[in-house]
Amino acid sequence: MAEVRSAILGTGRAYPQGILTNADLEKMVETSDDWITTRTGIKERHRAAEGEYTSLFAVQASRQAIERARIDPLEIGLVICATVSPDQILPSTGCLIQAELGAHKAAAFDLVAACSGFLYGLTMADKMIKTGQIRYALVIGAEVLTRYVDFTDRSTCILFGDGAGAAVMGPAEGDRGVLSTRIYSDGRFAEQLYSPGGGTRVRPTAETLAQGLHYFKMKGNELFKMAVRSMADVSIEVLNEAGFKPEDVKLFIPHQANQRITDAVASRLNVDGSIVYSNIAYHGNTSAASVPIALDECVEKGMMSEGDLVLLASFGGGVTWGGALIKW
């Protein structure tokens, strides 16, 4: 079949009603609104209540994306749920979402690439649409990270939030669509951000739970430097591949990990702050959900016009990173 370009045809997002503010965190650990705001840019984040789980938000975000793409769920050939906080180990959250949506003709699975998961999924979907194997894909980033956060560890509990974002991808019209993508990982840095317990290596027992081995452990400082370098480098790479320069970009949507990381990446790329999207103040770091939530907010705010170059970049645990350039 002839190769076609893929495009994002509809987006959606959802998150819990519950909000955890910096003032709330001040009562839980030794921290301050001033420290969190200055060091990260975060003011509040959404937090799932008991009984709320990852697929709940993923399904809401997906329904919105499907409605906006004006397709029938049965037309979807691929459902990718990027997450590090699945509903359960088996079956995949992707399959649970597929069932809720009635997307019974799709292949569905989970993709574990931490904060880069959405860009990994977008890359996979792009290739399958390009080769004509599928017509429509639903790519979701969904997390309830606060279940894996140790609320006695001030270095991590201030960062993470919950939510989901989704995008329907399909064949592009004209010369718009995904122009280039790149994804990478380097497992030598696995222990920069990891949850040591709960799998087959350190299986979950009452003891491992009491020791908090299922919680995220992070070396923030080292990740910070890698995140800045990787997101800037991969951005240049996807731009070069498509024959563009940073100054051609109309909207840059980076993974929302830390406002200082975003500012440092923008400065390395030498792009004006006005084209760099940030919602970290209200969501914190939602890992795989971060880029698609931000993308949907930008769509809703009317921040891109047809033909605009939109640059996406991400970095996360693994370590993983990726970039994509889209002609809107």
Q: Does 227 bind ligand ACO (CB under 6 A)?
A: yes
Residue 22 makes CB contacts below 8 A (sequence gap 6+) with: 31, 32, 33, 36, 37, 42, 43, 44, 158
Q: In this structure, what is the dihedral angle of CA atoms 82, 97, 109, 140, given to the nearest 10 degrees?
A: -30
* Smallest separation, CB 50 to ligand ACO (Å): 22
Task: Give Cα separations from 140 to 121, 132, 191, 263, 288 (angstroms).
Answer: 8, 21, 26, 26, 8
> Which residue's CB is nearer to ligand ACO, number 42 or number 166?
42
Residue 176 makes CB contacts below 8 A (sequence gap 6+) with: 5, 7, 306, 307, 327, 328
> Which residue's CB is nearer to ligand ACO, number 9 or number 48?
48
For residues 41 and 158, what is the distance between their CA atoms, to the nearest angstrom?
11
> Which residue's CB is nearer to ligand ACO, number 96 or number 288?
288
Q: Does 289 bind ligand ACO (CB under 6 A)?
A: no
Give the active site residue among 81, 95, 115, 298.
115
Judged by CB under 6 A, which of 18, 35, 63, 107 binds ligand ACO?
35
Q: Is 255 one of the catalytic residues?
A: yes
Q: Does 292 bind ligand ACO (CB under 6 A)?
A: no
Q: Using CA of residue 168, residue 169, residue 175, residue 180, what is the dihedral sign?
A: positive
Q: Which of 155, 143, 129, 142 is nearest to 39 (CA)?
A: 155
Give the active site residue among 22, 81, 157, 255.
255
Q: Does 287 bind ligand ACO (CB under 6 A)?
A: yes
**Mask for 267-286, x = binds ligand ACO (CB under 6 A):** ------------------x-
Q: Which residues are catalytic?
A: 115, 255, 285
Name the site residues for ligand ACO (rule: CB under 6 A): 31, 35-36, 39-40, 114-115, 154-155, 158, 193, 220-221, 223-224, 227, 257-258, 261, 285, 287, 316-317
